[in-house]
Amino acid sequence: MESVISSRLAILGHPQRLAILRLLIRRYPDRLPAGEIAEALALKASTLSAYLAALMQVGLVTQERAGTSLLYAPDMSAVRGTFDYLLLECCRGRPDLCPPSGQLPALGESGMTDRPFRVLFVCTGNSARSIFAECLLRDLGGDRFEVHSAGTRPRSELHPFAVRVLQDKGHDVSSLRAKNVAEYQGPDAVPFDFVFTVCNRAANEDCPPWRGQPVSGHWGMPDPVRAEGTEAERALAFQEVYGALRNRIAAFVALPLRELDALSLQGAVDALGRTKESTE
């Protein structure tokens, strides 16, 4: 085992190979095509192929064929085994230094029973998908949730088709605006309980960790802003994304959030992200 761990650490000593593994873990349980990995990390195809081969050789990454595409994902069992080995060697079994990660409180514990859950939805432009999610959770979840949305590269204004859909569905759009994630980061930022990305591009970006270790999920949706065709066809793209998000958020609202520990909630959120295959 020691030789395996040494080989894995040697492979991860290269910053770009480490960046690949970090990206795949951020997107887990999704499997990513090589092209998306290369685009996200600005790597040449030949370079990426060599790095992926090295990560697969030491068992940290798996490869799966889907039609003509090769998809990649982290082998989480191997990743956990590597971390466990390091922690056991470091901590020598002392729970005061390295408490068991599986013994986590439910989100309803630790003094937060009387306040709403704080939720943030993130996409790139914050002009359609994350705005849809913000409005849907605010209306479907009521006062159980304090809901925000933001963009990693927000547009200056909301997309008019998105605003039209929300108005047609009866949502109040008077207070909506495009915001930058920077408004919710930094040492003075109030921690969130949940952070969801709703586009692949935002999920692939290497952002600073969120304070408080919120439960995170990736609910990737096609970008309706990129839809082409007639005005009716473009409007339909926005309607379809709104409907898909509504189904997912309704299922999220139905979860017994205060009764589940963080690990169980993370599993439930991941399962919701797999309810419908969606790519950009």
pLDDT digits (tens, 9 = 90+) for 201-224: 888 887 777 888 899 999 999 999
Crossing angle between the packed helical segments 76-91 and 2-12, to the nearest 10 degrees: 110
SS3 at position 154: coil
pLDDT score, position 102: 46
**Protein fold of 2-91:** Arc Repressor Mutant, subunit A (1.10.10)
Q: Does the structure show a pLDDT above 50 at 271?
A: yes
Contacts of 182 (CB under 8 A, 6+ apart): none
Instruction: Give the bridge partners for 171, in sequence order.
Output: none
Average confidence (pLDDT) over 21-50: 93
The alpha carbon dihedral of 150, 156, 161, 167 has a sign of positive
How far is 49 from 66, CA to CA, in rounded Å? Answer: 17
Residue 164 phi, psi (nearest 5): -65, -45
CATH 3.40.50.2300 in the chain, residues?
117-273
pLDDT above 70 as % of the chain:
89
Order of strands across the sheet that contains 145-151: 145-151, 117-123, 194-197, 215-218
Tell me the two tokens of residue 73. Answer: 């994902």
Confidence bin at 54 (pLDDT 50/70/90): very high
Centroid of chain to Cα 210:
12
pLDDT score, position 210: 83
Average confidence (pLDDT) over 217-236: 92
Average confidence (pLDDT) over 121-146: 96
Query: Which residue type does 151 have?
Result: G
Say how many C-beta atoms besides its own lie within 10 A of residue 193's C-beta: 21
How far is 212 from 200, CA to CA, in rounded Å? Answer: 23
pLDDT score, position 94: 61
How far is 53 from 75, CA to CA, in rounded Å? Answer: 14
Lowest mean pLDDT among 205-209, 224-228, 244-248: 205-209
How far is 60 from 24, CA to CA, in rounded Å? Answer: 10
SS3 at position 63: strand
Tell whether omega for the bond before 29 is within 30 degrees of 0, i.e. cis. Answer: yes
CATH 1.10.10.10 in the chain, residues?
2-91
Listed residue (202, 278, 201, 280) closest to 245, CA to CA: 278
Q: Residue ranges of the alpha helices (H) in the chain?
A: 2-12, 15-27, 34-41, 45-57, 76-91, 129-141, 160-168, 200-204, 231-253, 262-273
How far is 238 from 224, CA to CA, in rounded Å? Answer: 5
**What number does CATH give the domain 117-273?**
3.40.50.2300
24, 73 Cβ separation under 8 angstroms: yes
pLDDT score, position 83: 84
Confidence bin at 256 (pLDDT 50/70/90): very high
Contacts of 82 (CB under 8 A, 6+ apart): 5, 8, 9, 60
Lowest mean pLDDT among 100-109, 125-134, 251-260: 100-109
Residue 132 phi, psi (nearest 5): -55, -50
Centroid of chain to Cα 90:
30
